């Protein structure tokens, strides 16, 4: 017997590692704006999907025959403050009646362990160089700063930020899943490996449209630094 629904089928997500999925649609639905890049193609689409901003010696490329599909941002081994970034179109906007879900899975390669800047999430578009994402005035991101390995949760509006240490460190070569759930204009819940680590209610960027963005930057001139991204995804109900 067929089962009919009058609305979208949503995840319950009330407990444990399923909390991140609360009210997320189970499948594509026209009532939701859904963008996900699994990086399964031959080359990064910088005409229709992504704006690539990188320093002259950095690279950005899809993994060749990489399992699951990947995007690899790589800094020059002998150059400090060298990096690459991607950013999408500013199609997401905080609204009192609409939620946003963001998630990515990635790992870094950094033999020194704490000599990289990394930033990923939703941001106003930035220009000039990859590190401009670190100082973008409006954003909801996870950030790792050169000199430590803490995964920080950041909400920033008009240049004023709220930052919380997730209590979890990034580890070179180990994949980590980073996600957040924006609940209207009231709060943002941050998740690391789908476990909730922080909730922000201040400095939510509710006056600017936001884009998916990701960047990496070398913090030393010793050894190649890179970030490998499995996927980038954001969803918002219309």
Q: What is the CATH number of the domain that holds 205?
A: 2.60.120.200
Q: Which residues contact 167 (CB under 8 A, 6 or more apart)?
A: 197
Checking if the pLDDT of 96 tops 80, the result is yes
SS3 content of the chain, % helix, strand, coil (to 5): 5, 45, 45
What confidence score (pLDDT) does residue 14 get? 61
Per-residue confidence at 100, pLDDT binned at 50, 70, 90? very high
Whether 14 maps to a domain, the answer reads no
Query: With pLDDT > 70 as the criterion, what percentage of the chain qualifies?
Result: 91
Dig out the tokens for 109 from the structure: 């390669």
Whether 171 maps to a domain, the answer reads yes
Q: What is the mean pLDDT of residues 38-65?
A: 93
What confidence score (pLDDT) does residue 74 get? 94
In the chain, how many domains are there?
A: 1
Checking if the pLDDT of 207 tops 60, the result is yes
Burial of 169 (0-12, 13-18, 19+ CB in 10 A): middle
Average pLDDT, the chain: 91
Q: Which residues contact 121 (CB under 8 A, 6 or more apart)?
A: 102, 139, 140, 141, 142, 154, 178, 180, 212, 213
* 204-197-37 Cα angle (round to 5): 70
The string of pLDDT tens digits covering residues 106-162 is: 999 987 878 899 999 999 999 889 999 999 999 999 999 999 999 999 999 999 999
Whether 13 maps to a domain, the answer reads no
Whether 228 maps to a domain, the answer reads yes
Q: What is the mean pLDDT of residues 89-104?
A: 97
DSSP 210: B
Dig out the tokens for 188 from the structure: 């943002």
Whether 11 maps to a domain, the answer reads no
Dig out the tokens for 217 from the structure: 């930057």
Whether 25 maps to a domain, the answer reads no
Whether 50 maps to a domain, the answer reads yes
Whether 4 maps to a domain, the answer reads no
Q: What is the mean pLDDT of residues 169-197?
A: 96
Cα–Cα distances (Å) from 158 to 138, 144, 165, 201, in that order, read 6, 21, 21, 15
Checking if the pLDDT of 4 tops 60, the result is no
Q: Which domain holds residue 102?
A: 35-233
Checking if the pLDDT of 191 tops 90, the result is yes
Contact indicator for 65, 97 with CB cutoff of 8 Å: no
Checking if the pLDDT of 32 tops 90, the result is no
């Amino acid at each position: 017997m067929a089962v009919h629904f009058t609305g979208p089928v949503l995840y319950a997500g009330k407990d444990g590692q399923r909390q991140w999925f609360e009210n997320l649609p189970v499948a594509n639905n026209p009532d939701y704006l859904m963008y996900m890049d699994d990086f399964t193609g031959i080359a990064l689409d910088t005409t229709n999907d992504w704006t690539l901003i990188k320093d002259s010696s950095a690279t950005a490329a899809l993994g060749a025959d990489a399992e699951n599909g990947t995007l690899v941002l790589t800094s020059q081994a002998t150059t400090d403050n060298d990096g690459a970034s991607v950013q999408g179109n500013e199609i997401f906007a905080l609204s009192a009646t609409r939620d946003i879900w963001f998630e990515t899975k990635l790992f870094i390669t950094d033999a020194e362990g704490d000599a990289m800047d990394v930033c990923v999430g939703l941001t106003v578009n930035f220009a000039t160089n990859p590190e401009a994402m670190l100082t973008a005035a409006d954003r909801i991101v996870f950030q790792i700063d050169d000199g430590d390995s803490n995964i920080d949760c950041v909400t920033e509006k008009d240049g004023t930020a709220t930052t919380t240490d997730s209590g979890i460190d990034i580890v070179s070569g180990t994949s980590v899943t980073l996600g957040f759930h924006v609940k209207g204009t009231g709060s943002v819940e941050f998740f690391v490996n789908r476990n909730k680590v922080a909730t922000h209610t201040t400095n939510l960027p509710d006056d600017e449209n936001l884009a998916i963005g990701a960047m990496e930057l070398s913090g030393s001139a010793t050894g190649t630094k890179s970030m490998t991204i499995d996927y980038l995804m954001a969803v918002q109900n219309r």
